[in-house]
Structure 1
């Protein structure tokens, strides 16, 4: 006869309390993390850090940063004037949101004005280009006086043979007449003018020009002197020499050498004025 087996007694799990304990510890940790994140931030220290970062990353005058009165909201600090960017306690809010509307209108006007200025400047520079191209065509030098529009502004490239003898930085009489006519056109615009001297890669080693560096720089400064004497303000002018290291053609034939030996007049767009040194008052002794 078959005997029925008695069911085995269920083993008692003595470690179940660990699950409850671990859940409790996790909840406590989250609770304290939330409390820490809602704690009061040291406003003075945060302001100092924010200004230091703004100076280091932006390079300009740091914007005023103020701590919000309450941690509730999308951000713990605001930028700019509190009257325009945040609600001042004790004052009624604008139900029609007219302040924001006015701000949007102002920004729109500023953007439109900026675009208008850029368009006007582009038209002015293109007008200068048209006059110089006509002057070159009328005098049969359109292959030696070439203008082109670039991102930085108008580039007027004058080949060496129009201005100098080979290996010399002296400007001949015909070149002076050319620069005088160019000065008349450039005087009508307020833009900065950079005169850049360039040579080919043929080495030079004389008492006056130990290398192409000196030749390119002195040629550029001599052109600057002519432009200044013809009425262009010295504060608008600057000179630079690049030697043989900024070619626009290969230096493997006579044609390439002729294109690389040049003077470039750069009529810079006004947005590049911020990269130019500003005039400062002389220090008081």
Structure 2
């Protein structure tokens, strides 16, 4: 017998001495419990997360509602439906109910709309108050100009009006202000500008001077047309406001309109004298939507 055979017999003999038989490897039949426990843990976590996200933080939701209401300017109106959770309105008026237009309940949508309307009314009221305050400032300017011109007996040579641009001081350019077809201020014309200048010099507003001629065809003297004549007259007034009243040049502008903006039609007997004018305009610094209210505010306060 070879050496390998002896070794195999010796091994078999040893096993027989230990137990008389060879033991098989033990198989674990309870490994499924580990997978089952993991699955149950994951399901529990899933349901906890679902439960957590289904709850609404009442305090934060109330803060959100109040914040939106304050943003619309009416905390006493917006969202007055209490602090019920979103889940309580999950039927016909759910938080994502598009029939209300904005999400949330119909009553909340109505409250938001009312808040927006209240904000608009508040803004309109503020604009009206600002326009009324501007008219009061214009009244002070008018009173100061009138008092100064009264000393010279020239108070009837100016008229006042208000449009969306601001306060308009109209100087009728009769023979005492400018000679016919001329753009050189006469003595009375200089006195008029001296009476107007101090009242507007300290203001922050820009000043616009508009020149106008009448519609008559009697000629414009040495000027080629009414455009040059009206522009030259406006420039003469601007120059005096700058040199005598000390108004900064970057606050002044001169414009000539010839006969394109008449106050009266040519058939009106007043056209010959009243359309021939220079207008000194104190331009308002208010926003455009507030300036639009100036004419009506002037009518109301006058």
Q: TM-score, normalised by structure 1?
A: 0.55
Relative to structure 1, is the Cα distance of residues 138 and 94 closer, same or farther in structure 2, using a 3 angstrom cutoff?
A: farther
C-alpha deviation, 1:112, in angstroms: 6.8
Q: Distance in 2 between matches of 1:264 and 1:273?
A: 21
For the Cα contact (< 8 Å) 2:149–2:195, is it kept in 1?
no
C-alpha deviation, 1:200, in angstroms: 1.0
Aligned with residue 237 of structure 2, among 210, 219, 223 = 223
Q: Distance in 2 between matches of 1:115 and 1:103?
A: 22
2:284 aligns with 269
1:246 aligns with 261
C-alpha deviation, 1:134, in angstroms: 3.4
Matched, 1:99 2:67: yes
Q: Distance in 2 between matches of 1:94 and 1:129?
A: 56
Which segments of 5 or more consecutive residues in structure 1 lack a partner in the other structure? 1-91, 275-285
Aligned with residue 152 of structure 2, among 139, 145, 152 = 139
Q: Distance in 2 between matches of 1:174 and 1:137?
A: 13
Which segments of 5 or more consecutive residues in structure 2 lack a partner in the other structure? 1-58, 75-118, 290-302
2:228 aligns with 214
For the Cα contact (< 8 Å) 2:181–2:220, is it kept in 1?
no
Q: Distance in 2 between matches of 1:134 and 1:98?
A: 55
Relative to structure 1, is the Cα distance of residues 168 and 271 closer, same or farther in structure 2, using a 3 angstrom cutoff?
A: same
1:29 aligns with none
C-alpha deviation, 1:103, in angstroms: 1.7
Work out which of the two has the higher radius of gyration on C-alpha atoms and give 1 or 2: 2
C-alpha deviation, 1:128, in angstroms: 0.9
Relative to structure 1, is the Cα distance of residues 163 and 205 closer, same or farther in structure 2, using a 3 angstrom cutoff?
A: closer
C-alpha deviation, 1:271, in angstroms: 3.2
- Quick check: which one's helix share is greater? 2
Q: Distance in 2 between matches of 1:196 and 1:124?
A: 22
For the Cα contact (< 8 Å) 1:196–1:241, is it kept in 2?
yes
Q: Distance in 2 between matches of 1:223 and 1:175?
A: 9
C-alpha deviation, 1:148, in angstroms: 1.9
Aligned with residue 190 of structure 1, among 204, 209, 212 = 204
Relative to structure 1, is the Cα distance of residues 101 and 273 closer, same or farther in structure 2, using a 3 angstrom cutoff?
A: closer
1:155-174 map, 5 Å: 155-161=168-174, 162-174=176-188
Relative to structure 1, is the Cα distance of residues 137 and 215 closer, same or farther in structure 2, using a 3 angstrom cutoff?
A: same
For the Cα contact (< 8 Å) 1:195–1:263, is it kept in 2?
yes
Q: Distance in 1 between matches of 2:151 and 2:180?
A: 26
Relative to structure 1, is the Cα distance of residues 94 and 192 closer, same or farther in structure 2, using a 3 angstrom cutoff?
A: farther
Q: Distance in 2 between matches of 1:273 and 1:234?
A: 24
Q: Distance in 2 between matches of 1:174 and 1:219?
A: 14
Classify the secondary structure of the residue corresponding to 1:271.
Answer: coil
1:64-79 map, 5 Å: none
C-alpha deviation, 1:160, in angstroms: 0.8
Q: Distance in 2 between matches of 1:136 and 1:174?
A: 10
C-alpha deviation, 1:254, in angstroms: 6.3
For the Cα contact (< 8 Å) 2:152–2:191, is it kept in 1?
no
Q: How many residue pairs are counted as aligned between the two chains?
A: 183
1:177 aligns with 191
Give CA-to-partner distance per residue, 1:226-270, whole Å, 9 cap, x none.
Answer: 111221122222211111121112435764311111101122222
1:40 aligns with none
